[in-house]
Structure 1
Amino acid sequence: MLFRKKSRDMDEWAPMPPLVVASASLILLAAVVAMTVRDINRQRHHMSYILSEKGAAIIRAVEAGARTGLMGMRWGGNQVQTLLEEAAGHPDILYIGIVDKDGKILAHSNSSKIGQTVPNRFSRDALKTTTSGLWRIVGVEKKVKAFEVYRAFCPLPGQGKMRGRGMTMHVDPNTGQTRMDWCFSSKGDSSDQIIFVGLNMAPFENERSVDMRNTLLMAGLICLMGLGGFLALYWAQSYQVARRMLQDTSAFAKEVVTSLPVGLIAMDAAGRVAFFNHSAEIITGLSRMKTLGRDAKKIFSEHMEGLVYLLEPGISVTEQEIECEIKGKGVFPLSVSSSDILGEQGHYVSRIVILRDLREVRDLQEQVRRQEKLSAIGELAAGVAHEIRNPLSSIKGLATYFSQKFDKGSDDEEIAQGMAREVDRLNRVVSQLLDFARPSDLNLRPMDINELIPHSLKLVKQDALTKNINIISQPGGKPAFAMADADRLTQCLLNLYLNAMAAMNKGGVLTVRTAVEDSGDVRVEVEDTGKGIPSQDLNRIFDPYYTTKASGTGLGLAIVHKILEGHHARIKVESRPGQGTLVSMFIPGAKKAQDPKAQSGRE
């Protein structure tokens, strides 16, 4: 259906919502299903009524025949068995039988079943039913079902009986003698026998299958016709909606493409820039307004010459990693992709170039590489350190013993003392190895970093005086609270002080500053006026065993980095050869340090 709405200029038909089409279709389907189910139930009820009446009529006929034989000709069980066999000769009758109240077959149209027990016991209510019969559907053979009608069997209530204690006797008409016979009940006027007849359901089932098939076919046709009408109506008015949806989709796609985290540049068939998203502006440093409509090759050749080849039609590039120099931004890694956009007939429409900045990816790869290396070295260090420390204790003990045996000031005494000093040096290296390999179990608590700095500087004050190094402490103007382990952070600061003093072998200035960032992080700076670090070594200074000092172990800064990782802190190193080095640590504030999303790393 179409809904009418009025506008100021003209009347127009509003589009029919899909929900209305779906609801109408469901209502139609429900109505058709309801009618079909009702028709099927009516057919099933009609079949049950006909078969139950037919079965009851057969039972009455058998009872009438048995009554005549028992009253006029003094029949017994054998004659009733013959009657059942004759009655079961009708093609619609599968079997007729009589059972006692316990389900034991007394007589059956198939004499081989006499004495057996019926698989499915009859309801006790059948013994109380003497007029209309009960019915049920049972399986007879594979894929064959019987409509079974049953009720109490009372051919001669109250006649032909001799009462005793639970035993019923029958008078033989030929000999005049009495004998037991199942035909006669021992319970007065109430019968304890059930007669049942199994009717063949196949003809009715076949007819019902045909009727059901026709009913379902008609229901399906009605449903299809109704659905077809609704769909035709829906498609007829969908064109009116398509234009508006296309506009919305175009606006949505434009917004998505504009907000992509990768640089997207599209050219038209003439090679002019047709699209330039925000990420492309960030990567290239060019303004979108100054690039749209201009020749793409000219722009690329002026600002990023290494990418001009991506503009050539017919060349397809996928995720190619290059080092690209961009004017005013230097050289950094990019992942580039480009391909042609073709029309339906295969003609060239435009070309698209995708740029992805890989600097962050490279940093993550470097962090993963370093973590793997640290993990391997840590495991090796833990094992080696424990194996070395025991013999070192023995060697030092022997060296001390021999130094006391030699004369004071002799060469032998000096050699023995030198051995002891070298053992002490090796023991310090082993201790550093264990510190590096030991898990970073930190005792974090809120503390003012400004109070920790003076204590840590006292530990190197005497050494600084000896080397003619002036120490300057510049705490921030307000408390710098952070969640920190005082002992481990002191160790971290001490390693940085010692490295800075080692770089100032001719004296200098060691400056320590603290400040609180706008983000809440506490910034700690350690600056020296030493010889600095070459730029090619900056990326390796935190690697274990990397050192530029002749007597260094290369573990000092590696331990610093590990301690800061445990604090979820960052470290940044800036150095100018010949002028000095500035090391900045950014420790999360007391609140931020408990944030599980806090990241650690270095810059």
Structure 2
Amino acid sequence: MIFRWMEENKLYVPSWLIIGISLVLMAVVIFMGFVNYHREKNYMSKLLKEKGAALIWSFEAGAQTGMMGLFGNEIHLQTLLEETAFRSNISYIALVDRDGVFLAHSDKNMIGKSSKAFVVNGSFLPTDDLQWRTVEGKGQVKIFEVYKNFLPIAQKHGYVEEEEGHHDMSCSPEWMKDMPQDRILGPKHQPVIVIGMDVGPFEEAMAKDIRNSLVTAGVIFLLAVAGIVSLFWAQNYMHSRKLLQDIRALASEIVRNLPVGMVVVSGDGNIRFINSVACSLLAVRPESAQGALARSILPIALLDLRNSISRGKTVVEKELRLPGRENTSVPVNVSTTDIVGEEGQYMGFMFILQDLSELRQLEIKIRQREKLAAIGDLAAGIAHEVRNPLSSIKGYVTYFGSLFAQGSENRKAAEITAEEVDRVNRVISELLEFARPSDLKLVATDLRKLIEHSLGIVAQEASFAGVTITTQLDHNLPELLVDPDRITQVILNILINAIQAMEQGGQLSVATHQQEEEILVDISDTGHGISPEDQGNMFNPYFTTKKNGTGLGLAIVHKIVEDHGGSVHIRSIQDGGTQVSIALPIHPVLES
């Protein structure tokens, strides 16, 4: 859920920010541990100080009570010290004078001994207020000492009276048994009461609390780091997912726009993917083919090819003719192979279909050009050899014809012979025109004006033949870079052929329009049309359907248009008219 939310909101965290957050979080955890340690330490000091103060006040109160003899004769000051130290779990309680001599001690063996640590000086200055310090005891054990001037409550109420000039201790004789009463209770000496408490249990408890705090902080830190790492992983996941989506989209776009057809069939025989090129080659609709059974969509030839090969083998350069639209067949190069998963499991198979139509048309064009080139070379050689004798023949025919009387049979025969010689000479001229290399004189030309000029030339011939001319010329066409004389020759040749095809009259239509980067000129007639067998030979030299035709007119048209980088197409229905379409590029790539 969070991944999807981050992806939808395009939330991406930089790596440096994640590292920075981790470092800040670590610093916060360390600071929290440091603060917690000092808090625990201060709390321990306060607790020990309060405990020491309570013990001191209790001891002073007990001392007053003992001095009054209320404890009887069995309890004395030393007993109170020992019992207080034992029952309060403290290390020691002592009364020391200002020279560091122990006047009373919870350990009897220490009475009378001295310690430099309790000598009143700059580092140890007891007052009537509570003070504390931490010292090192036996065995390097830390001792928390609470100390102050010993002030028995009896003194405060006048049990010691100096004003009358004597010391009235007013103390039970058993209370100060075996102790220097005057040094303990005398106001001039004023001893110091010291309570020493072992810090070990408190430090152990504090260490335990600190450990617990550190464990808690560590867990919080680990959880936070885990969250940050999860965030980092989430970012990497989103980045990888986005990269995978981009790669999938790119692969899908590449496959969808491949110039070859692709059909993927799953193991259960259903079509899982088919691109637009394959749909066009197989003459099927994408929505009906996707997910359908392969045997109900694919041609039998493809399925037979698939069944004829062994699994795992790829068929390359296997050419088939697949049924296309309008009862046509399409030459296709087919490749097929199995689709195998990462673990080697069979997942289906696929077909790669490559349309060979353009390749076959190109091969036909190449063969036709080679054929035309060979014929042209042969014709040019023959034409040069024949043309010279023709001039001599025509001269002799004209001479011999002049020897006969005007209107005689011999004179008519000579004239017919001269006409035939002219016709042969014209054929040779056309043959040389066809055979010679292109020498285009390109000029920016308004194609509409060329067509109107050509129509004006054939207007009288069309009128004599009973042909009506209609035009639909686009006035917004751009100028073309063409040879005006050659293009005029092309248009005139097609117009004359169209008029001659309408022996009983008819309608001649000329239309122009722009289609993408080409200008199309459509010339249509309502003549007798061309049979399907003859349509494929219309541009071959010396092929003609007219009695007196040379068979070079359309061949020359085809050559001139191709020299301009264009193309010529004929669509005709026998006894239903013919349409010749000339396509000229706006930015021509001229034939060399």
Per the normalisation by structure 1, the TM-score is 0.54
Q: Aligned partners of 1:7, 1:560: CA distance in 2, in Å? A: 76
Consecutive unaligned residues of structure 2, counting only runs of 5 or more, are 1-13, 23-232
- Whether the aligned pair in 2 keeps the contact of 1:569 and 1:599 (CA below 8 Å) is no
Query: Following superposition of structure 1 onto structure 2, how do residues 424-463 of structure 1 map, counting pairs within 5 Å?
Result: 424-463=422-461
- Whether the aligned pair in 1 keeps the contact of 2:510 and 2:522 (CA below 8 Å) is yes
**What is aligned with 1:574?**
571
Q: Aligned partners of 1:251, 1:406: CA distance in 2, in Å? A: 91
The 1:559/1:272 distance shift into structure 2, 3 A limit, reads: same
Query: Following superposition of structure 1 onto structure 2, how do residues 8-47 of structure 1 map, counting pairs within 5 Å?
Result: none
Query: Following superposition of structure 1 onto structure 2, how do residues 46-65 of structure 1 map, counting pairs within 5 Å?
Result: none
- Whether the aligned pair in 1 keeps the contact of 2:282 and 2:323 (CA below 8 Å) is no
Query: Following superposition of structure 1 onto structure 2, how do residues 395-474 of structure 1 map, counting pairs within 5 Å?
Result: 395-474=393-472
The 1:511/1:291 distance shift into structure 2, 3 A limit, reads: closer
**What is aligned with 1:87?**
none
**What is aligned with 2:108?**
none
The 1:273/1:599 distance shift into structure 2, 3 A limit, reads: farther
Give the superposition deviation at 1:430.
0.4
Q: Aligned partners of 1:463, 1:4: CA distance in 2, in Å? A: 86
Secondary structure of 1:513's aligned partner: strand
- Whether the aligned pair in 2 keeps the contact of 1:480 and 1:514 (CA below 8 Å) is no
- Whether the aligned pair in 2 keeps the contact of 1:473 and 1:512 (CA below 8 Å) is yes
Q: Aligned partners of 2:254, 2:591: CA distance in 1, in Å? A: 29
- Whether the aligned pair in 1 keeps the contact of 2:260 and 2:354 (CA below 8 Å) is yes
Give the superposition deviation at 1:466.
3.3
The 1:329/1:403 distance shift into structure 2, 3 A limit, reads: closer
Is 468-477 or 332-341 further displaced after alignment?
468-477
**What is aligned with 2:526?**
529
Secondary structure of 2:530's aligned partner: coil
Deviations 1:178-197 (A, max 9, x none): xxxxxxxxxxxxxxxxxxxx
Q: Aligned partners of 1:4, 1:514: CA distance in 2, in Å? A: 65
Aligned match of 1:307 in 302, 306, 323?
Answer: 302
Matched letter for residue 468 of structure 2: N
Give the superposition deviation at 1:566.
2.3
Q: Aligned partners of 1:286, 1:7: CA distance in 2, in Å? A: 54
Secondary structure of 1:542's aligned partner: coil
Aligned match of 1:555 in 552, 555, 579?
Answer: 552
- Whether the aligned pair in 1 keeps the contact of 2:465 and 2:504 (CA below 8 Å) is yes
Deviations 1:79-123 (A, max 9, x none): xxxxxxxxxxxxxxxxxxxxxxxxxxxxxxxxxxxxxxxxxxxxx
The 1:320/1:479 distance shift into structure 2, 3 A limit, reads: closer
- Whether the aligned pair in 2 keeps the contact of 1:273 and 1:292 (CA below 8 Å) is yes
The 1:310/1:462 distance shift into structure 2, 3 A limit, reads: same
Deviations 1:364-398 (A, max 9, x none): 11221122122222222222111111100110111
Give the superposition deviation at 1:248.
6.7
Secondary structure of 1:583's aligned partner: strand
Q: Aligned partners of 1:522, 1:307: CA distance in 2, in Å? A: 40
Secondary structure of 2:569's aligned partner: strand
Give the superposition deviation at 1:518.
5.0
Q: CA RMSD in A?
A: 3.3
Q: Aligned partners of 1:514, 1:272: CA distance in 2, in Å? A: 48
Give the superposition deviation at 1:599.
7.8
**What is aligned with 1:564?**
561
The 1:579/1:255 distance shift into structure 2, 3 A limit, reads: closer
Consecutive unaligned residues of structure 1, counting only runs of 5 or more, are 12-236
Q: Aligned partners of 1:536, 1:6: CA distance in 2, in Å? A: 79
- Whether the aligned pair in 1 keeps the contact of 2:281 and 2:330 (CA below 8 Å) is no
- Whether the aligned pair in 1 keeps the contact of 2:564 and 2:591 (CA below 8 Å) is no
The 1:387/1:576 distance shift into structure 2, 3 A limit, reads: same
**What is aligned with 1:278?**
276
Give the superposition deviation at 1:544.
1.3
- Whether the aligned pair in 2 keeps the contact of 1:469 and 1:510 (CA below 8 Å) is yes
Deviations 1:232-281 (A, max 9, x none): xxxxx9xx999878777666544433332111112222222222233223
Q: Aligned partners of 2:309, 2:248: CA distance in 1, in Å? A: 27
Q: Aligned partners of 1:307, 1:282: CA distance in 2, in Å? A: 15
Query: Following superposition of structure 1 onto structure 2, how do residues 209-248 of structure 1 map, counting pairs within 5 Å?
Result: none
**What is aligned with 2:153?**
none
Q: Aligned partners of 1:599, 1:398: CA distance in 2, in Å? A: 44
Q: Aligned partners of 2:257, 2:347: CA distance in 1, in Å? A: 23
- Whether the aligned pair in 2 keeps the contact of 1:476 and 1:514 (CA below 8 Å) is yes
Matched letter for residue 546 of structure 2: K
Secondary structure of 2:555's aligned partner: helix
Q: Percent identity?
A: 42
Give the superposition deviation at 1:506.
2.0
Matched letter for residue 398 of structure 2: T
Query: Following superposition of structure 1 onto structure 2, how do residues 8-407 of structure 1 map, counting pairs within 5 Å?
Result: 252-300=250-298, 304-312=299-307, 314-315=309-310, 317-326=315-324, 330-342=328-340, 348-407=346-405
- Whether the aligned pair in 1 keeps the contact of 2:261 and 2:354 (CA below 8 Å) is yes
Q: Does 1:584 align with 2:592?
A: no
